[in-house]
């Protein structure tokens, strides 16, 4: 009898520590066992080495808290052991140090403070205070937040490695605070607490075509912090920001903006300002600000520096400028080590691409994306702190000597910045271009998951477009553990909806004029994203907490659709960025916008009905199920002709009809055949925009046209997924032809080289091509159903599911397809082999060999 082992224990959603953002956090654990088909019969959870809760459950993902509710600032040691259905018990797991991050009712006391004498709008600054600790300290917890971005230093040391804290939320409704253990930074006697801060998103001006405006009402940032001290003698003390703190427009950051970049003056370094004894007599007292929003615990992992890249090549442009190529389109900033005369300015301009050898800045629109480094006269190591850029190339101007590429390139390091999520998905196949496409999707997600899910990281936008994350959330939830990240963003979705009567607009946080209007496929993020979190992570709490938001969205759309349940007449994005849309009219698509709109009413009503059934709301399940069916019938009557064609005879229309189950079973095959025919008529090129692209491969595969889906994937001509790869792309582009074949940037005023929406095909690559899909929430039951395509010899997907590592893939050789699967302990799988053979299997490693079912003519490319 083999002994199982608990390999990991997790508290709530985050992966970067055992943080409880609620008094009753859920627990998850993974189990390793070499017993085939191992299943859990029960578990024990031990708190602080003594209190044990026995759980008669076979569940190990998001298990309810089995002890008394936690107190604020609680610290506990947590261990888990399990017993299998075979009676074998595991040892206790390695202990996890759990820490509460929430505050008790009425405990938030800190005032928001800002500079009394700012030097211009959105002025970066420093605030500080000193405190005396007159007895031994047991623990210290710092709670802090900002209307802006900040970092805290205690006695000269930063409290953590997070950047751009506390991230971007819908500031008028929700502020997130951190809770940081700072016990080790304090000492008996005199201590100093300092906060450096800038405006970040809070003071940024948002808008297009030169009409940007400040949204949140204040032109200066503010910070708030409170330090909870617990002494060894059992007494406690709270130190808060308030009018007794002092602040100044000091420090090396002279100016900072998300879009403009940062100016750093190394001559202004305020040495020792966050240490005891610093002379701040010249700093005036701060000003306090009334803020009505009560900060709540941050749910997601913070933004951090997640990697570094060296310069790959130093280029001299046709005009004689020096440009650094980092070899990868990334998001972050550049750290520079440089010596030069005091006051000398080095300027760094960032861009994603070169156009005919010069820095391609036109796609940035009104974003300067420029950092200015003013040298101190000694050796400086300078890195912007409160901004970020999307770039691969950096133009260097004002280098203090003639630039020596072999030597000076080493002075520059690209620092990758993004929300520090845990990577969970890996894909590999026999086609190198597809592997590069997959990596482009990963890099696109890394860059655009920065505090919120953005559309692009480089131009004067970087907004939380709801349509983009609606189509990409399944892929995001495969590549990374995005549960905490997206659950946090959904809190802002909920807040924005509450403020607009249930409607969900174009972006969250909502900062655009008229951006709170409902639009199909964009506002449907309210129903789709919670569903994805439940499907991929087993996060039933996300589904339950967002259920009122889901229902409110469908109610808004149903009201706008009226009695005939056809959503017509409103503004719609439609199948945005159809490859045939004109450069300056990205919403002009082959499929009519009303067809897209009503199809999404059906889809979202059905998702609400399913959520209602899962959550036990029987009346709602019936109501929204009936609504979905009536809207479906209305869609069929209005948009499907008697001969079974859709009035917009386009790829996206048929893909929706199939993927959203708009047509009856009798019509499905004919619709799939027509879709395949349209793809062939287009020369096996993609003909879809934001709406159709994530679902077209599934629609083809489900109707027996996997070969056509495969040709779409492997196509290299424009438009196609691999066209950008052949053009040297290292992220996914916004347009199918963001760069034209002659190296000219698309003439449209809206062009980005880092947009993840079209990368949503990666989800199909995992689920269908390699064959690794969830068949029950959280992958407790897997569907292993690989679909080999012509032009490939093998494909494999690996995934860290909530139950543990899973794998599926296939390899073709000698006229056979060999299928391999790994099912984690505690899970099971339905296996559907190429050719139709099926198996039910439990955990463990499995392998089968079947005759290669691919047609020889198709495989030969005939």
d(Cα 224, Cα 603) in Å, to the nearest integer?
43
| HSE-CB for 29 with a 13 A CA cutoff | 30
Per-residue HEC secondary structure of 544-565 comes to HHHHHHHHHHHHHHHHHHCCCC
Specify the DSSP element, H or E, that contains 665: helix 665-681
Contact of 373 with 338, CB cutoff 8 Å = yes
By CB neighbour count within 10 A (0-12 exposed, 13-18 middle, 19+ buried), where does 303 fall?
buried
Contacts of 279 (CB under 8 A, 6+ apart): none
Q: Which residues pair with 548 in a beta bridge?
A: none
Which residues touch 89 (CB under 8 Å, ≥6 apart)? Answer: 3, 4, 81, 82, 83
Taken in order 399, 402, 403, 407, the sign of the CA dihedral is negative
Distances (CA, A) of 600 to 270, 558, 628, 639, 667: 56, 11, 10, 14, 19
* CB-CB neighbours of 448 under 10 Å: 32
φ, ψ dihedrals at 620, nearest 5° = -65, -40
Within 8 A by CB and 6+ apart from 642, the residues are none
User: Shortest CA distance to 793 belongs to which of 428, 442, 441?
Assistant: 428
- Between strands 205-206 and 112-114, the pairing is unpaired
- Return the beta strands (E) in 398-543 as ranges: 412-419, 425-429, 449-450, 452-453
Which residues 6+ apart lie within 8 Å of 407 measured at CB? none
Q: Return the closest-CA partner of residue 389 out of 254, 256, 197.
A: 256
Q: Are 390 and 458 in contact (CB under 8 A)?
A: yes
Residue 466 has φ and ψ, to the nearest 5°, of: -70, -35
Phi, psi of 107 (to 5 degrees): -80, -20
Separation of alpha carbons 142 and 132, rounded Å: 16
Q: How far apart are CA 592 and CA 132, in angstroms?
A: 69
Catalytic: which of 178, 461, 496, 594?
Answer: 461
- Rounded to whole angstroms, the Cα distance separating 791 from 131 reads 69
What residues are paired with 80 via a beta bridge?
A: 45
Cβ(310)–Cβ(413) below 8 Å: yes
CA angle 814, 816, 819 (to 5 degrees): 130
Give CA separation, 359 vs 322, 363, 401, 744, 831, in Å: 10, 11, 22, 12, 51
CB neighbours of 4 closer than 8 A, spacing ≥ 6? Answer: 31, 32, 33, 35, 38, 82, 84, 88, 89, 90, 825
For residue 208, which phi and psi values (nearest 5 degrees)? -120, 165
Among residues 12, 301, 395, 734, the one annotated as catalytic is 734
Neighbours of 94 (CB within 10 A): 12
Residues present in the chain in total: 862
Q: Which among 487, 493, 572, 574 is positioned nearest to 538, based on CA atoms? A: 487
CB 211 within 8 A of CB 190: no
β-pairing, 125-133 with 157-158? unpaired
In the residue annotation, 734 being an active-site residue is answered as yes
- Residue 610's SS3 state is helix
Candidates 298, 346, 434, 369; CA nearest to 709 is 434
Instruction: Give the residue numbers marked as catalytic.
Output: 461, 734
């Amino acid at each position: 009898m083999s002994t199982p082992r608990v390999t990991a224990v997790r508290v709530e959603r985050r992966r970067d520590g055992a943080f409880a953002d609620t008094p009753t956090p859920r627990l998850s654990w993974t189990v390793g066992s070499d017993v085939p088909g191992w299943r859990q019969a029960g578990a024990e959870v031990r708190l602080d080495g003594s209190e044990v809760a026995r759980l008669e459950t076979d569940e190990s993902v998001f298990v309810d808290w089995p002890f008394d509710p936690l107190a604020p600032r609680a610290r506990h040691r947590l261990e888990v052991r399990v017993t299998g259905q075979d009676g074998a018990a595991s040892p206790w797991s390695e202990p996890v140090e759990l820490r509460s991050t929430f505050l008790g009712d009425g405990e938030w006391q800190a005032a928001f403070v800002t500079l009394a004498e700012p030097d211009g709008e959105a002025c970066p600054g420093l605030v500080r205070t000193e405190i005396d600790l007159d007895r031994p300290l047991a623990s210290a917890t710092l709670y802090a937040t900002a209307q802006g971005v900040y970092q805290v230093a205690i006695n000269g040391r930063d409290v953590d490695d997070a950047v751009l804290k506390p991230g971007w939320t819908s500031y008028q409704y929700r502020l997130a605070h951190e809770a940081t253990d700072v016990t080790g930074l304090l000492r008996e006697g005199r201590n100093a607490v300092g906060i450096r801060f800038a405006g970040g998103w809070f003071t940024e001006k948002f808008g297009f075509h030169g009409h940007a405006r400040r949204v949140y009402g204040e032109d200066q940032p503010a910070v708030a912090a409170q330090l909870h001290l617990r002494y060894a003698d059992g007494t406690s003390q709270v130190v808060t920001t308030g009018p007794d703190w002092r602040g100044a427009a000091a420090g090396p950051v002279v100016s900072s903006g998300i879009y403009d970049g940062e100016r750093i003056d190394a001559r202004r370094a305020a040495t020792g300002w966050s240490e005891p004894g610093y002379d701040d007599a010249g700093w005036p007292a701060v000003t306090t600000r009334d803020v009505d929003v009560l900060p709540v615990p941050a749910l997601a992992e913070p933004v951090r520096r997640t990697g570094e890249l060296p310069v790959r090549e130093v280029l001299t442009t046709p005009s004689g400028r020096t440009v650094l190529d980092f070899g990868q389109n990334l998001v972050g900033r550049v750290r520079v080590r440089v010596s030069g005369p005091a006051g000398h300015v080095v300027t760094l301009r960032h861009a994603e691409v070169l156009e005919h050898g010069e820095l391609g800045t036109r796609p940035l629109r009104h974003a300067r994306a420029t950092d200015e480094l003013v040298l101190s006269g000694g050796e400086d190591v300078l890195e912007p702190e409160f901004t970020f850029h999307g770039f691969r190339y950096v133009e260097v101007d004002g280098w203090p000597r003639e630039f020596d590429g072999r030597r000076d390139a080493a002075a520059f390091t690209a620092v990758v910045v993004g929300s520090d999520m845990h990577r969970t998905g890996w894909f590999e196949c026999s086609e190198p271009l597809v592997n590069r496409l997959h990596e482009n999707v990963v890099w696109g997600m890394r860059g655009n998951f920065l505090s919120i899910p953005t559309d692009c990281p480089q131009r004067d936008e970087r907004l939380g477009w709801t349509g983009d994350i609606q189509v990409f959330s399944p892929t995001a939830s495969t590549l990374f553990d995005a549960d905490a990240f997206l659950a946090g963003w959904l809190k802002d979705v909920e807040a924005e909806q509450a403020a607009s009567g249930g409607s969900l607009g174009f972006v969250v946080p909502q900062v655009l004029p008229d951006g709170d209007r409902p639009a199909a496929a964009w506002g449907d993020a309210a129903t789709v994203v919670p569903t994805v979190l439940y499907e991929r992570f087993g996060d039933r709490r996300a589904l339950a907490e967002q259920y009122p938001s889901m229902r409110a969205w469908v109610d808004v759309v149903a009201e706008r659709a009226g009695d005939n349940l056809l959503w017509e007449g409103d503004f719609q994005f439609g199948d945005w960025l159809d490859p045939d849309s004109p450069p300056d009219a990205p919403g002009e698509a082959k499929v009519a916008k009303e067809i897209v709109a009503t199809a999404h009413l059906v889809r979202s009503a059905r998702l609400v009905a399913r959520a209602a059934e899962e959550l036990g709301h029987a009346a709602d399940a019936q109501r929204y199920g009936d609504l979905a069916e009536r809207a479906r019938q209305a869609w069929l009557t209005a948009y499907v002709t008697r001969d079974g064609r859709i009035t917009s005879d386009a790829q996206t229309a048929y893909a929706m009809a199939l993927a959203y189950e708009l047509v009856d079973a009798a019509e499905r095959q004919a619709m799939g055949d027509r879709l395949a025919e349209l793809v062939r008529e287009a020369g096996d090129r993609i003909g879809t925009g934001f709406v159709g692209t994530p679902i077209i491969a599934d629609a083809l595969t489900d109707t027996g046209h996997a070969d056509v889906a495969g040709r779409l994937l492997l196509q290299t001509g424009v438009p196609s997924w691999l066209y950008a790869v052949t053009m040297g792309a290292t992220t996914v582009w916004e347009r199918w032809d963001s760069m034209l074949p002659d190296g000219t940037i698309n003439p449209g005023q809206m062009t980005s080289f880092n947009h993840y929406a079209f990368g949503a095909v990666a989800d199909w690559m995992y689920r269908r091509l390699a064959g690794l899909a969830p068949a029950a929430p959280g992958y407790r039951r897997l569907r292993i159903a690989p679909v080999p395509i012509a032009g490939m010899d093998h494909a494999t997907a690996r995934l860290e599911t909530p139950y543990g590592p899973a794998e599926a893939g296939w390899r073709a050789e000698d006229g056979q397809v060999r299928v391999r699967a790994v099912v984690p302990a505690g899970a099971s799988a339905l296996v559907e082999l190429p050719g139709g053979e099926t198996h039910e299997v439990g955990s463990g490693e499995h392998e089968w060999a079947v005759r290669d079912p691919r047609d020889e003519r198709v495989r030969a490319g005939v």
